[in-house]
Amino acid sequence: MNDSGSQRPERLQKILSAHGVASRRAAERMILEGRVVVNGAAASLGQSAVFGADVIEVDGELLGPRGGFVYIMLNKPRGYITTVSDDRGRKTVMELVADAGAKVYPVGRLDMESEGLLLLTNDGDFAKIAAHPSYGKVKTYEVSVIGGGSGAVSILRGPMMIDSRLVKADAVEIAARSGQGMVLLISVHEGRNRQIRKMCAGAGLEVRSLKRVAVGPLELGRLEPGEWRHLSEDEVQLLLGMRIKN
């Protein structure tokens, strides 16, 4: 038996955030979608509960205290830098996961003007496997571009010299066309500094927006900019494939 009687009720979205389920805004959506159950009944937005006294379930699993490694997927908005801190006072992605209940670190990076899927964790093995090119985790970007001739896509699909190194995209697809512009899906397994932007520039294309939509089998899905969620155990194992053995 616990001493939960001394605790005050809290809004469900605050409880879910404190226990590492998702950011408060994403937790609100989960409640609205009927994915949260309290004492056997579907929760409603604005409902309060007492963790430890009330039985809280998320997607059919009992909410319990978190511990050990933490794995987060964030939809990074524009205007944030992918560092733990910044001596120039710029906004960092750490501000967006401040309510995660654990200290985590970005896996790889997205430049300030790029957005989309960013992983954060406190598991060094996971970070290495997810980010290092030698593990071949393909990263897919949705890129809105203008300009370039009819051969721009062919240039992108072929080997290109970027920063005195030969690089080649794993795949380049045209997702949509609009007037003088188009939306491309570009997949690469390397992660060189501003590689996608430099590749597009080399093909005569101007990048209007750039969003990472997938890392390996993990897809950004419906996360809104600034929202985060924890990876499921299945997602972690799917990305890892096999952990590094010492």
What residues act catalytically? Answer: 111
Alpha carbons within 13 angstroms on the beta-carbon side of residue 87 total 0
Round to whole Å and give the CA distance between 126 and 120. 10
78 φ, ψ (degrees, to nearest 5)? -65, 155
Three-state DSSP class for 211?
A: strand
Q: Which of 30, 201, 223, 230 is closest to 116 using CA atoms?
A: 223
Residue located via tokens 């009687």: 5
Would you state the structure tokens that stand for residue 164, as one six-digit string? 């005195």
Would you state the structure tokens that stand for residue 227, as one six-digit string? 């929202």
Round to whole Å and give the CA distance between 9 and 19. 15
Beta strands in the chain (DSSP E): 10-11, 36-38, 41-42, 48-49, 56-58, 61-62, 71-76, 105-107, 115-121, 139-147, 160-162, 165-167, 171-178, 181-188, 205-215, 218-219, 228-230
Within the chain, what is the greatest distance between any pair of CA atoms? Answer: 71
